[in-house]
Chain A
Amino acid sequence: MTAPTPGTSGWPPPALDPAGPFAGPLNVLAWVLFAMAAAVLVIVLVALGVALFGPRRWRARLGGERLIWIGGLAFPVVVLSALLIYGLGLTSRLTEEPAAGEMRVRVTGEMWWWRVAYLDAHGREALQDANELHIPVGRPVVLELDSADVIHSFWVPRLSGKVDMIPGRRNLMRIQADAPGVYGGQCAEYCGGPHALMGFVVVAHEPAAFEVWRARQAAPAPAAATSHPGAAVFDRAGCGACHTVAGTAFNGLAGPDLSHVGSRRTLGAGILPNNQGTLAGWIADSQSIKPGNRMPAYPVLTGQELRDVSAWLESLE
């Protein structure tokens, strides 16, 4: 098995390094709460020290009921009320209703990968992708989160808190990146089997670069690509039953869309860097890389067939 690939996917995602307005306040709140807790701990330790070693008069004062009223009730009431009001104020922006014109993406949790669909202005699915979410920097993007099977939880720590993906419900979440870059994510609700290997990448582009990316995604595979020997292997092995490649006859829906798999940063839902070698390795034996995942292993493919099909997939950019 391979080690995670930090450079390619931003993985494991750092939890205390916010990179957008929906993650920043959470980080501030976490540190404020931590500092308060540390201060209270110090007070308690000092009181304990006095109780054990302090002069008699001090100890007598610690032992009175008055201290319970002040230290046990008044002090926490004041501190906790202040923290509550501060915290609710800080996080109120996070749950604002999304505005009408905001870009929307539907992300569906599947055992153990992510289906991604970019919605157009009418809420129709305009672009299909998987395991990778591209966004323009500097503006909020609304995610419609749902699930195809069990409960998953969408978490890109540098961009936002967690929101669960629950069958039969559609939860909304907003994310925004302030700078271009790659932000790692991870399924945050135990979903059985290889749950720990259910990663995710968000790629933030400058607005112009994002439009370029979107235009390229919308274009189907070039006609030349379908005459590639790898396409024939793909056909013979029956991969098209589960995978879609836009512009070809392959239109399966059980697995991730592969129309532009060559341009993805990772394979297997954020766990492998993407190159021809890892592609061939994944196809030959995804079951030992990600045990229990829903794609069968293909030990039957010969070395040549693996080289062909992985070269073809790599060329689908």
Chain B
Amino acid sequence: MKGETGFDPGLYERFPTKGPRPKGELEALEQVWCGPKGWQWITAINNNFIGVYYVGAAMLFFVLAGVLALLMRTQLALPMNGFLPQETYNQMFTVHGTVMMFLFAVPAVEALGVLLLPQMVGARDLPFPRLSAYAFWAYLIGGLAFFCSIFFGLAPNGGWFMYPPLTSTTYSPGINADFWLLGIGFIEISAIAGAIEIIVGVLRNRAPGMTLDKLPIFAWAMLIFACMIIIAFPSIILSTLLLEVERALGWPFFDALKGGDPLLWQHLFWFFGHPEVYIIFLPAAGAMSTIIPAMARTRLVGYRLVVLAMLATGFISFGVWAHHMFTTGMPTISTSFFSAASMAVSLLT
């Protein structure tokens, strides 16, 4: 009997195989699965290699942003210190925040997933290895290009949250802000590509017999993480797109003088930005829930409860974004609602 894709599930019956091995099988397999040699590493697509590159690149951005932080702390060590010029300082803290959030935090946990997940669910690789290789290279090249803008004094300087109208053409006429909008837009697309891969990998590529209730807790965390990315990131892609259209074509989405509203940006941005916190937190929590029981040589207590808590965290975290906007003069009823939701989300974490 064949499935609709032409795959014959009857093939499973052949495993484990018992007959004699064909000649040369071992060599052929070793050749297919061997590591890249010499310059081949550029073309590697297996998750074992891409995963390592990915983790390494994330660490590189972590160090780069850390160096910026050290320079800024030096400036702040004394009041009115003249160590960094004002404009350089403004660019540095914008780049620092942006790199930490978009080029370190999310890619680092995504990289951990690419590196560990396939083996955890008993697969040889992620379902779309070329897509993950693409996501990695797009991220590395885009990220480096973005970071280098600071060496030319062209880095964005509107803060990592890029609130308009400060970032509109009136108050940021240079191409600095465009670097941010285009760079971050593409990096988010790469993150979504990675998320699709993780979801498909966890849902479709598990070893036979590994039902969802036997899934390693880290894989659960990554599954929820990836679903959250798919829901949250389109919001930031949309906002960068709108602002870029406003900057390039003069369509007033955020310009109050022409009938736009600067708060629209804040809602779109934090609808992404708050879940982002849990997008970073959940994989880390999943990793801890894997490491600690292993080290303590026990089973994880309350596996189902942990999964439930993570699911609920992911869900509720989409209802609290406006607590980043309590100072914008929202009506009391909405601040109260968002306070309650924020407390509810802390409950589950």
Beyond A83-B343, A150-B166, whether A166 also contacts B262 by CB under 8 A is: yes
CA of A65 to CA of B80, assembled, Å? 55
In the complex, the answer to whether B343 meets A151 with C-beta atoms within 8 Å is no
- The answer to whether A68 touches B301 (Cβ under 8 A) is yes
B163 adjacent to chain A (CB < 8 Å): yes
Which of A120-128, A191-199, A217-225 forms part of the interface with chain B? A191-199
Does the CB pair B301–A164 fall under 8 Å?
Answer: no
Asked whether A168 lies within 8 Å of B79 as measured between CB atoms, the reply is no
Those of A59-103 within 8 Å (CB) of chain B: 63-65, 67-68, 72-73, 76-77, 80-81, 83-84, 87-88, 92, 95
Chain B CB within 8 A of A283 CB = no
For residue B163, which residues in chain A have a CB less than 8 angstroms away from its CB?
A: 150-151, 189-190
- With beta carbons under 8 angstroms apart, the residue of A163, A168, A193 that contacts B90 is A193
A92 to B339, CA, bound (A): 13
Is the interface on chain B under 10, 10 to 19, 20 to 34, or 35 or more residues?
Answer: 35 or more
Closest approach, in angstroms, between the C-beta of B160 and any C-beta of chain A? 10
A151, B340: Cβ atoms closer than 8 Å: no
A73-B344 Cα distance, complex, nearest whole Å: 11
Question: Which residues of chain A are within 8 angstroms of B329 by Cβ–Cβ distance?
Answer: 145, 163-164, 166, 169, 171-172
Task: Pick the residue among A88, A151, A171, A191 that contacts B262 (CB under 8 A).
Answer: A151
| B336 proximal to A (CB < 8 A) | yes
**Are A149 and B165 touching (Cβ within 8 A)?**
yes
Contact B86 A68 (CB under 8 A): no
Q: Which residue of A lies closest to B94 (CB)?
A: A190
Asked if A84 contacts B80 (CB within 8 A), the reply is no
Docked CA distance A178–B340 (Å) = 32
- Chain A: which residue is nearest B161 at the CB level? A190
Instruction: Tell me how far the C-beta of B79 lies from the nearest C-beta in chain A, rounded to whole angstroms.
Output: 6
A87 touches B166 (CB 8 A): no
Q: Looking at the complex, which one of A65, A77, A149 makes contact with B302 (CB distance below 8 Å)?
A: A65
- Asked if A153 CB lies within 8 Å of chain B CBs, one says yes
A175–chain B nearest beta-carbon distance, Å: 15
Q: Mark A156-183, 1 if CB is under 8 A from B, else 0.
A: 0000011110111101100000000000
Contacts of B166 in A (CB 8 A): 150-151, 190-192
Q: Which residue of A lies closest to B170 (CB)?
A: A149
Residues 314 to 349 of chain B near chain A (Cβ within 8 Å): 327-329, 332, 335-336, 339-340, 343-344, 346-347
A161 touches B90 (CB 8 A): no
| Interface residue B13 (Cβ < 8 Å from any Cβ of A) | no
B332 CB to closest chain A CB (Å) equals 5
Given contacts A162-B327, A167-B257, contact A149 B171 (CB under 8 A): yes
Q: Which residue of A lies closest to B305 (CB)?
A: A68
Residue with the greatest number of chain A CB neighbours at <10 A, chosen from B170, B256, B343, B344: B343
Residues of B within 8 Å of A81, CB to CB, are 343
B27 within 8 A of A: no
A292 touches B87 (CB 8 A): yes
Q: Which residues of B contact A72 (CB under 8 A)?
A: 305, 309
Does A252 touch B at the CB level, under 8 Å? no
Of A1-9, A14-22, A306-314, the segment with at least 4 beta carbons within 8 Å of chain B is A1-9
- From the candidates A63, A163, A194, name the one contacting B327 in the complex (CB within 8 A): A163
Complex Cα distance, B328 from A153, in Å, reads: 9
A166/B263 contact (C-beta < 8 A), A4-B79, A192-B171 known: yes
Tell me if B262 and A168 are in contact (CB < 8 A): yes
Q: Are A95 and B256 in contact (CB under 8 A)?
A: no
A171 CA to B87 CA in the complex, in Å? 30
Bound together, the chains give a CA A153 to CA B80 distance in angstroms of 22
Q: How far is the CA of A1 from the CA of B79 in the complex (A)?
A: 10
Contact with A along B174-218 (1 / 0, CB 8 A): 000000000000000000000000000000000000000000000
B118 contacts the other chain (Cβ, under 8 Å)?
no
Kindly provide the distance from the CB of B262 to the nearest chain A CB, expressed in whole angstroms.
6
Q: A171–B85 Cα gap in the complex (Å)?
A: 34
Report the minimum CB–CB distance from A256 to chain B (whole Å): 20
Tell me if B159 counts as interface (CB < 8 A to partner A).
Answer: yes
Asked whether any CB of chain B lies closer than 8 Å to the CB of A291, the reply is: yes
Which chain A residues lie closer than 8 Å to B298 at the CB level? 63
* Bound-state Cα–Cα, A152 to B36, Å: 54
Q: A63-B298, A83-B343 given as contacts; is B256 within 8 A of A168 (CB)? A: yes
Q: What sequence of 0s and 1s flags, for each residue 285-317 of chain A, a beta carbon within 8 Å of any chain B beta carbon?
A: 000000110000000000000000000000000
Decide if B240 is an interface residue (CB 8 Å cutoff). Answer: no
Contact A84 B340 (CB under 8 A): yes
Of B172, B261, B302, B332, which one neighbours A168 at CB under 8 angstroms?
B261
Q: Which residues of A contact B24 (CB under 8 A)?
A: none
Partner of B301, one of A63, A83, A84: A63
Contacting residues, chain A, for B343 (C-beta < 8 A): 80-81, 83-84
Q: Roughly how many angstroms separate A95 CA and B330 CA in the complex, as a whole number? A: 10
Which residues of chain A come closer than 8 Å to B172, judged between CB atoms? 192
Interface check B143, CB cutoff 8 A: no
> What are 8 A-B interface contacts by the 8 Å CB criterion?
A1-B80, A151-B163, A167-B165, A169-B256, A172-B329, A189-B327, A291-B85, A291-B87
Chain A positions within 8 Å of B, measured between CB atoms, are 1-4, 63-65, 67-68, 72-73, 76-77, 80-81, 83-84, 87-88, 92, 95, 111, 145, 149-151, 153, 161-164, 166-169, 171-172, 188-194, 291-292
For the complex of A and B, list the 8 residue pairs with the smallest distance between their C-beta atoms, beginning with the closest. A168-B256, A171-B329, A150-B166, A167-B256, A162-B327, A1-B80, A80-B343, A68-B302
